[in-house]
Structure 1
Amino acid sequence: MSQYFSIDGQGVWNPSNGPGRLFVRLAETLAPTAGLPSGIEATPGDPDDHPIDGAAFAKFVGALVAEYRAASHPINRALLEGFVATAAVLARRGGCALPALDGPAGASASDIPGGGSAGPDRLAELMAEYERSMPV
């Protein structure tokens, strides 16, 4: 069995059940952090099918990318990293713009003195690595 993720009708990921279900649960958990709904749904009668609203998902992922890039707290950044990189791959596959991936990082509510923010290179490296192991 596997999960199916599509953005606005375009297939973007077909993981096995374990990673697919974990991704959905993490999205639900991170929605309050982003302050936005994830845009990920489940098809009635088919809990393995996850249509995603592209506009909502782009805003959700963009907010988390911005938080990740701005975070100077290494644990906060580490906890966000895997989900954010995975979600950014899906967003890009679905044609979603993610302006937060480019440009300078902002400030985070979880900043710590002396910590540095994450540059776009780390996230780009993870996205490239993850994309190779994310079947469509």
Structure 2
Amino acid sequence: MSQYFSIDGQDVWNPANGPGTLFTRLAEAFVPVAGPSGIGVTPGDPDDHPIDGAAFAKFTDALIAEYRAASHPIQRALLEGFVATAAVLARRGGLALPALDGPAAVPSRDIPGGGAAGPDRLLELMAGHDRAMPL
């Protein structure tokens, strides 16, 4: 069994049920942080997830900005797996992610081992995720 994710009608991911379900549940958990995810479910087919591109781009971009501004290494680590996956989906769907390309926000306080994250780590994660995410 597998799940299907499409952005505005374009297929972007076909994961097994485990990763697909975890991704949708994590997206729900991030709604209070980044707003509506745009990830839907087709009535009668719980394994089909049409994604509204505009909403998903806004959601993903907000999480990228949160990740890049996080000065705490644990906060960043908790965000990065989901954010890298979402960013791959957004790129596959042709969505713009301005927070990925611009400078990171300046953290409001210093945390040992912290500091704002540059795009390089996230781009490395995205490349690895892209190779592991079947269409």
TM-score by length of 2: 0.95
Where do 5+ consecutive residues of structure 1 fail to align? Answer: none
Contact 1:67 1:108 in 2 (8 A): no
Question: Deviation of residue 103 (structure 1)?
Answer: 1.8
Question: Deviation of residue 112 (structure 1)?
Answer: 4.0
Q: Percent identity?
A: 77
Distance 1:68 1:21 in 2: 22
Secondary structure at the aligned position of 1:132 is classed as helix
Distance 1:3 1:64 in 2: 23
Deviant stretches of 4+, over 2 Å? 111-115
Where do 5+ consecutive residues of structure 2 fail to align? Answer: none
Contact 2:107 2:115 in 1 (8 A): no
- The correspondence of residues 1-136 of structure 1 with structure 2, limited to 5 A, is 1-34=1-34, 36-107=35-106, 111-114=109-112, 115-136=114-135
Structure 1 residues 14 and 104, CA gap change in structure 2 (3 angstroms): same
Question: Deviation of residue 113 (structure 1)?
Answer: 3.9
Q: How many residues align?
A: 134
Distance 1:66 1:113 in 2: 18
Can you list the C-alpha shifts for 1:52-83, whole angstroms capped at 9, x where unaligned?
Answer: 00000000000000000010011110000000
Secondary structure at the aligned position of 2:11 is classed as strand
Structure 1 residues 29 and 49, CA gap change in structure 2 (3 angstroms): same
Distance 1:108 1:61 in 2: 20
Distance 1:108 1:78 in 2: 16
